[in-house]
Amino acid sequence: MRRWNGWGDDATSMDLSEAARAMMNARLGPGLPGLDATREAMLAQVPASRLTGAHPSIQSDADTRFAMALGESFADWIRKRFGALPPVPDGVAFPESTEQVRELLDLANANDWVVIPFAGGTSVAGHLDCPISERPILSINLGRMNRLLHLDKPSQLASFEAGTPGPLVEAQLRAQGYTLGHFPQSFEYSTVGGWVVTRSSGQQSLRYGRIEQLFAGGRLEAPVGTLSIPTVPAASAGPDLRELVLGSEGRFGILTEATLRVSPLPEHESFHALFFPDWDTAEAGVRALVQRKLPLSLLRLSNGIETETNLTLAGHARLIGWLQRYLSWRGCSDGKCMLMLGVSADTRTARHALREARRLLAGHGAVYIGTAMGAKWAANRFKGPYLRNTLWELGYCADTIETAVDWPQVKPLMLAMEQSARDVFAAYGERVHAFTHLSHLYPQGSSIYSQFVWATAKGGFAPNFERWQKLKAAVAATIAAHGGTVSHQHGVGRDHAGHLIDEKGPLGMATLAQLCRHFDPNKIMNPGKLLQDGGPWAS
Ligand SMILES: Cc1cc2nc3c(=O)[nH]c(=O)nc-3n(C[C@H](O)[C@H](O)[C@H](O)COP(=O)(O)OP(=O)(O)OC[C@H]3O[C@@H](n4cnc5c(N)ncnc54)[C@H](O)[C@@H]3O)c2cc1C
């Protein structure tokens, strides 16, 4: 069963080796395990619903409403752990078809209810927060809309109901020999619709593309009507309306169906590990590689601190000790950087791509160590977030912040993001363990994905929330100062809405606000996300 106050299925957990525990202790001091609130205590705080009896399809019990109140951001996490209940929706509906979504939207619009679409609930940017509102709040849960509607094999197009989560997408396609190839780390729960409206990126985006390359068309039910976007291979028919749906974050309406570009299952897939002596050679190597445009499916470059952290987390101390000695002998010691490289293609193409990639990277000092670490990465590719549960139980908090920027700024921004986090915690006389990888590489630049671990502070929700807010604000300011995007893959939500002006400018913000008014004149759709409520660019 899915955990209510942590990541993932409660049958799965990730242990931390003794060496990893010792590393946390050495870097951060002892953790402070919190006293977790119980679910019963949270439910007891849920206020009476303003939608009881409003419509037979709307459930208004506290249990169901509470489950829709929060996503997976750090703020959501500590609210659950410390028992700090945020506003919860007044009711939850579980439509099973586009027609039922349409009816619910009409009902909400006619009665002036706020609507928050809820899909996999994996947002890490406050997309699902309920506002404090005079108006009743209806959560529309898309979890029952999870079918493959049509597979057009000649065109390699698959139409899904928008609430279909990753495992059901792949199971329904693989049964017919196809894959979408979209694997965000939240794959277990996140959905087709969530991916499209938050502009998600999967681990193998190098081969399959980001969701905006995969989204061919679909159907959006907006308060003012239906937007149907037909699929065509390409068009010069004016602005592309798919772009209105991508990244719309539930502000314009509810995506009920999405047609996605799928691929035949690859004949060959393998993941390989290489090490570089230091960051500069590594960055030069991966930049040259991605600009060579070989048919690879994954490149993931860890900086020195992340490499050491991952090797410590890996367990198998004797094997890792042997590997460290071997790498050291080959010139990769302190500060070495690990690259994970994937190929997913027909056998001949894969063989050629791998040979060329290894040749090019060897010219940049890379040491190739084979597929054992790659196979382990692939087996655990969705398990990393489970460590957040383990860390919390040991008394440590963890969060991630990501962006993307052009190549000249990649290293300066990566270092500055980590440093601004250290400065925030230093002001409290505390430490943070900050480490980074590049997970989505482009000829023009790269995403930067930094992870932060720090000891839980005494005093419950308020001091921990304060530290997190300062961390987010400091790193966001650093990103803006280096010309990075507000988000490469997690979207804007409520948490990043205040920084969107840095990227879109006044005219861009006014355009977005005008689009919100156009699709949703009564302002019922997911207020406060993408555009701040009450701010200068409120819709
Ligand atoms: C552990 C973890 C790992 C993650 N890894 C990645 C990653 O590798 N790559 C990545 O891109 N993201 C990642 N994320 C972020 C998150 O999974 C994505 O933002 C995902 O796309 C959200 O999808 P969801 O179905 O869970 O949507 P939800 O979280 O339920 O909703 C997100 C937003 O979309 C709106 N929405 C959802 N469905 C619809 C719809 N059909 N119509 C209109 N609005 C809708 C909601 O109202 C909300 O505003 C990760 C999150 C976690 C917790």
| Å from CA of 280 to ligand 1 middle | 33
Task: Report which of 133, 56, 67 is spatially closest to residue 95, judged by C-alpha positions.
Answer: 56
Q: Which residue type, as a one-letter code, is found at position 384?
A: G
pLDDT in tens, 467-483: 999 999 999 999 999 99
**Percent of the chain, pLDDT > 70?**
100
CA atoms of 320 and 275, how far apart (whole Å): 13
Is residue 482 helix, strand or coil?
A: coil
Task: Give the model's pLDDT for residue 252.
Answer: 98
Burial of 19 per CB tally in 10 Å (0-12, 13-18, 19+):
middle
Question: H helices within 363-406, ranges in order?
Answer: 372-379, 386-394
Query: Please, which pLDDT band fits residue 34 given cuts at 50, 70 and 90?
Result: confident
Q: What is the mean pLDDT of residues 97-112?
A: 98
CA atoms of 407 and 24, how far apart (whole Å): 32
Is residue 219 helix, strand or coil?
A: strand
Task: Answer whether 7 contacts ligand 1 (Cβ < 6 A).
Answer: yes
Task: Give the model's pLDDT for residue 537.
Answer: 74
| Å from CA of 289 to ligand 1 middle | 30
Q: What is the mean pLDDT of residues 196-225?
A: 98
Q: What is the chain's mean pLDDT, rounded?
A: 97
| Å from CA of 237 to ligand 1 middle | 30
Pocket test for ligand 1, best of 101, 130, 190, 219 (most atoms within 8 A of CB): 190
| Å from CA of 159 to ligand 1 middle | 19
Task: Give the model's pLDDT for residue 415.
Answer: 98
CA atoms of 247 and 489, how far apart (whole Å): 10
Q: What is the mean pLDDT of residues 61-88?
A: 97
CA atoms of 75 and 219, how far apart (whole Å): 32
Query: Please, which pLDDT band fits residue 499 given cuts at 50, 70 and 90?
Result: very high
For the question of whether the overall pTM of this predicted structure is more than 0.85, the answer is yes
Task: Answer whether 184 contacts ligand 1 (Cβ < 6 A).
Answer: yes
Task: Answer whether 190 contacts ligand 1 (Cβ < 6 A).
Answer: yes
| Å from CA of 457 to ligand 1 middle | 28
| Å from CA of 397 to ligand 1 middle | 21
Q: Count other C-beta atoms under 10 Å from residue 144's C-beta.
A: 14
**Measuring from atom 47 of ligand 1, which residue has the nearest CA?**
117
Task: Give the model's pLDDT for residue 539.
Answer: 66
Task: Answer whether 254 contacts ligand 1 (Cβ < 6 A).
Answer: yes
pLDDT in tens, 401-451: 999 999 999 999 999 999 999 999 999 999 999 999 999 999 999 999 999
Question: Interior CA angle at 170 toward 9 and 215, to 5°?
Answer: 115
| Å from CA of 120 to ligand 1 middle | 7
Closest ligand 1 atom number to CA of residue 184:
8
Residues contacting 211, CB < 8 A, separation 6+: 182, 195, 196, 199, 200, 201, 202, 246
**Measuring from atom 36 of ligand 1, which residue has the nearest CA?**
194
pLDDT in tens, 342-360: 999 999 999 999 999 999 9
Closest ligand 1 atom number to CA of residue 197:
34
pLDDT in tens, 164-204: 999 999 999 999 999 999 999 999 999 999 999 999 999 99
Task: Answer whether 118 contacts ligand 1 (Cβ < 6 A).
Answer: yes
Closest ligand 1 atom number to CA of residue 388:
1
| Å from CA of 494 to ligand 1 middle | 13
Closest ligand 1 atom number to CA of residue 116:
47
Alpha-carbon Rg of the chain, whole angstroms?
Answer: 23
pLDDT at 373 > cutoff 70 = yes
The DSSP element (H or E) to which 21 belongs, if any, is helix 18-28
Q: 């990043």: which residue's tokens?
A: 496
Is residue 413 within 8 Å of residue 403, measured between CB atoms? yes
Pocket test for ligand 1, best of 122, 244, 382 (most atoms within 8 A of CB): 122
| Å from CA of 364 to ligand 1 middle | 37
The token pair at 155 is 């065109």
pLDDT in tens, 125-164: 999 999 999 999 999 999 999 999 999 999 999 999 999 9
Closest ligand 1 atom number to CA of residue 72:
53
Task: Answer whether 249 contacts ligand 1 (Cβ < 6 A).
Answer: yes
Task: Give the model's pLDDT for residue 314.
Answer: 85
| Å from CA of 137 to ligand 1 middle | 20
CA atoms of 247 and 458, how far apart (whole Å): 37
Output DSSP code: residue 191: B
| Å from CA of 407 to ligand 1 middle | 27
The token pair at 64 is 């169901």
Query: Please, which pLDDT band fits residue 316 given cuts at 50, 70 and 90?
Result: confident
Is residue 218 within 8 Å of residue 257, measured between CB atoms? yes
Q: Count other C-beta atoms under 10 Å from residue 439's C-beta.
A: 24
Pocket test for ligand 1, best of 164, 200, 388 (most atoms within 8 A of CB): 200
Task: Give the model's pLDDT for residue 35.
Answer: 83
**Measuring from atom 8 of ligand 1, which residue has the nearest CA?**
184
Q: What is the mean pLDDT of residues 263-272?
A: 98
Task: Answer whether 67 contacts ligand 1 (Cβ < 6 A).
Answer: no
Torsion sign (Cα): 451, 457, 463, 464: positive
